[in-house]
Structure 1
Amino acid sequence: MRVLMVGGGRPGLELTRRLSADGHAVRFVTRNEAFREEIEAAGGEAYLGDPDRIGTLRYGLDNVTVLLWLMGRAPDGDLHGSRLTMMMERTIDTTVRGVVYEGTPEGAAVVEKMAAYNEIPYAILDTPRADEGAWASAILAEIDGVLAAPRG
């Protein structure tokens, strides 16, 4: 399985370590080239992109099984609205078989609507990041859930 992780920050490194230890590929989006070394040390592939510029993420979806849009710490706004909508539109006709979202109630509504339209299983994460281990475990459980869900 290959995941595209958009957001997640430093707690995403723990998730990357766990996924890669289980043999999964993690494409970790970062805006900052300086973060590359930490991502790679955790077992991930650093992918330079910016969720505020969805076009930069286009090729990040190549051969991806699960999209993780982990913007729980991002302020309300376009990342949970128009940018999220555009990204969800990009999942049409891709290999994406599930979406896990962390963010706002408005963004959760966007995911619900777009996932239904695209017939892609999704999960809305509500586990706080205060405990990185619990947060990573919750995401792993959500990934398993969306992959086990019937599509369509």
Structure 2
Amino acid sequence: MRVLMIGGGSERGLALASSLIAEGHAVRIVSRDGHRREAIEGIGAECWPGTPDVVGTIRYALENVTVLCWLLGTATGEPEDLEPLFGSRLKMLLEKTTDTTVRGVVFEAAGTVDQALLACGEHEVRWAFEHNEIPYAWIHADPADTQTWVAAARDAIDSLLGAVRATPER
């Protein structure tokens, strides 16, 4: 399986990517300015230069992707700059997944972003399912708790694939 992570260059995103890579999955992480390239490639993931602000920069990152993860629950910036990421930009990317290998979308539905924006993003993901039958799953875990967040993200990914994964002893 190949996972595309948009907003995955954070420490929790890298932890999620590491857990996937450890099981033999391929991970591609979009990096806006490349400052996280060393960390991304250091864990064995592919760094894709692009930004969700310009969907055209990530359109081809969807190639051979099984699961798309929209992990922007802790995005920072002015509200007018964040709104398109949970509205028009997300909708545009979801529309572009229709004729691809993407079998599901994981949406980070918790974080520091205004709840109204997260709700808007949830609406767009549901719309994509209703109109294009793109399955989805949510991550509702607190992004400040990396271990719990990674477990929730893995559960979301696995639920889309119908996979059963062994849980390590804690």
**TM-score clears 0.5:** yes
- How well do the aligned residues superpose, as a CA RMSD in angstroms? 1.3
Q: Pick the structure with greater CA Rg.
A: 2
Aligned-partner Cα distance in 2 for 1:83–1:26: 22
> What is the CA–CA distance in structure 1 between the aligned matches of 2:50 and 2:158, rounded to whole Å?
26
* Residue pair 2:98, 2:134 contacting (<8 A) in 1 also: no
Question: 1:22-41 alignment to 2 at 5 Å?
Answer: 22-41=23-42
Identity %: 50
Aligned residue number for residue 86 of structure 2 = 80
The alignment status of 1:144 with 2:158, answered yes or no, reads: yes
CA distance in 1, matches of 2:94, 2:88: 10
Residues 91-128 of structure 1: CA distance to partner in whole angstroms, max 9, x if unpaired? 01100001000140111011011122111210121111
Structure 2 residue runs of 5 or longer lacking an equivalent are 77-81, 110-117, 164-170
Aligned partner of residue 38 in structure 1, secondary structure: helix
Conserved 8 A contact 1:14-1:42: no
Which residue number corresponds to residue 139 of structure 2? 125
> Equivalent residue of 2:36, what SS?
helix
1:134 Cα shift? 1.0
TM-score when normalising by structure 2: 0.84
Partner of 2:2: 2
**Partner residue in 2 for 1:52:** 53
How far, CA to CA, are the matches of 1:142 and 1:122 in structure 2?
8
Deviations 1:125-148 (A, max 9, x none): 111111111111111111110112
The letter of the residue matching 1:94 is T
| AA at the equivalent of 2:46 | E
**Count of paired positions:** 149
* Displacement over 4 Å in runs of 4+: none
| SS of aligned partner of 2:137 | strand
Match of 2:127 among 107, 113, 117: 113
Gaps of 5+ in 1: none
Alignment check: 8 A CA contact 2:108 2:138 kept: yes
Q: Give the C-alpha shift of residue 34 in structure 1.
A: 2.4
